[in-house]
Each structure stands twice: as structure tokens, then as C-alpha cells.
Amino acid sequence: MSELLVRTITGIILAAAAVFSVLYFPVWLFKITIALITGIGTWEIFHLLSKRFEGINPLFFGISGFFLSIIFLFLPPFLIFFLIFLISFYTAHRVYSLDTLTASVFGLSYGVFFISSLALLHEQNKYLLLVLFATVWAGDTMAYFVGKTIGKHRLAPRLSPKKTWEGAFGSIIGSVFAGGLAAYLFEIPEAIIPVLIASILMQIGDLFESFLKRQIGEKDSSHLIPGHGGLLDRIDALIFASVVFVIFFQIKNTL
């Protein structure tokens, strides 16, 4: 079976599961589901970081990521900042390394806040997640096919040699079209603003994870998903775009 076919079948299954959970899971169950995903994503982050920094146990941080996500989604959010620093200090003091402390704070912050933002968006309005999915999935699809077809100019050769400026522009066009259409169909016209912003920043989300992997010397964050690599490889752009949506609607609701 070709890599593209495996990638396509796996992508369809994951997309169907994601849409089903968004539409039919109650808020509390969706939050727990996202906390589990956060735990897996955090494990992947520290699986990478453990190759460079001393004293890091990926399983410990994966479990920590799950519980920190639960705390973030169900309890007063400021508590999580305190716990991130405590967990990071506990890890770093055992090897007496400022680098390990910095890596731990970064890994927990990136994993927990970015992935958990999906649950915050669902709590706000579950149809916003469908707009988000349309934005990111259309962008990913267009980036792949446009890049394969006419991509010639490298976007960031040191970070992601296969990504091109042509693919990035194709991604932005696809994201704006699909995200805008979804916002119209679900009668959330104001969502077009985060769609526009996210269509650009999701390119950075992809490069951000590529930067992390290249620093460690790995191609994928793990091998959990056939044809896609790890969980983070599948959702790196999604979680960056999700944070954009959450920030926009939190600001909108406070004005």
C-alpha cells in the first residue's frame, strides 16, 4: 500500500473521529478526551527533549500533561502555572541543570496550553471547532498538492526542506476559502477574522514543530499514526490555529 494511500485512509478515520466527538460528546467528556490527547502530545514533546536534556522522563511528563490539562480545563487556570514550575523544578534540581528547567517549562507550556485550547473552543461553541477543522484541513491538503505540483521555492530549507512558498500560498487560499465557507454555513460570520489570521500562523505552527525536531535530529515526533508520524506531526498547525481562535473570541467576549 502506497504511503499516500495509508496517509489518506488514516486521515479520513481521524477526521471522522474528530468530527463525531465534537458533535456528540458532552463538554466534560470532550475535555477529558482532549486531556488524554494532551498527555500523548506532551509525551511526544518530552520524548524528543529527552534526547538532548538530562533527567527527563517522557512517561512522567506525559502523565503530568494529562493531569495539568484536566486542572487547566476544570479548575482555576492560574494554578497550572504554579504546578508547571514545581514539576519543572523537581525534574531540573535532580540533575542540577538550568537547561533541563527551561526545557521542562517550555515542553509543559507548549503541550498543555496549545492542545488544551481545543477544549476551550468546544466549550465556547462546538461549531467553531468545525470551522477550525475546515480551515486547517483544507490548508494542509492544498499545501500538499500545490507543493507537490508546482512547488519550487523553499520556504524554510533548514527547518522543512519539502515546504515551499507555493505550497504555503496554496494553503492560505485553501484555508480562507474553506474556513470562510464553514463560518458562513454555521452562521458565525465573525469567525472569518481568526480564519484569516490562522491561515497564516498555522504555517508557523508547522515550522515550529519542525524546528524542535531538527534541533533534536528527528524526522517525526513519534510513530503512533501510520503515514503521519506522531500526534504532534498531525496537529502542529491545528493547535496553533486553535490558539488564534481562542484568543480572538476571548477578546471579543470581554469587549
Say whether pLDDT at 228 is over 70.
no
| Reported confidence tier of residue 179, pLDDT bands at 50, 70, 90 | very high
Per-residue pLDDT of 72-89, as tens digits, reads 999 988 899 999 999 999
pLDDT for 1? 53
Mean pLDDT of 166-173: 92
Instruction: Check residue 162 and report its DSSP letter.
Output: E
pLDDT for 28? 96
Answer left, alpha or beta for residue 227, where phi above 0 means left and psi between -120 and 50 means alpha: left
Mean pLDDT of 7-17: 82
Mean pLDDT of 204-213: 87
Please report, rounded to a whole number, the percentage of residues in the chain having pLDDT higher than 70. 96
How far is the CA of 233 from the CAs of 50, 114, 198, 237, in angstroms? 18, 14, 18, 9
Q: Which long-range contacts (CB under 8 A, 24 or more apart) does 27-30 make?
A: 27/122, 27/123, 30/119, 30/122, 30/126
pLDDT for 24? 96
Give me the residue label for grid cell 497550572.
80
Q: Which long-range contacts (CB under 8 A, 24 or more apart) does 214-222 make?
A: 214/158, 214/159, 215/52, 216/48, 216/49, 216/51, 216/52, 217/51, 218/48, 218/51, 221/44, 221/45, 221/47, 221/48, 222/44, 222/47
The pTM score is 0.92
Mean pLDDT of 167-177: 93
Per-residue pLDDT of 33-58, as tens digits, reads 999 999 999 999 999 999 999 999 99
Instruction: Check residue 191 and report its DSSP letter.
Output: G
Instruction: Check residue 89 and report its DSSP letter.
Output: H
User: Average pLDDT of the chain?
Assistant: 91
pLDDT for 198? 96
All structural domains of the chain with their residue ranges = 3-254
Within 13 Å, how many C-alpha atoms sit on residue 232's CB side? 30
| Reported confidence tier of residue 30, pLDDT bands at 50, 70, 90 | very high
Question: Alpha-carbon distance 240 to 201, whole Å?
Answer: 7
Give me the residue label for grid cell 498543555.
112
Per-residue pLDDT of 110-163, as tens digits, reads 999 999 999 999 999 999 999 999 999 999 889 888 888 887 878 887 777 778
Within 13 Å, how many C-alpha atoms sit on residue 67's CB side? 9
Closest CA to 40 of 182, 178, 254, 224: 224
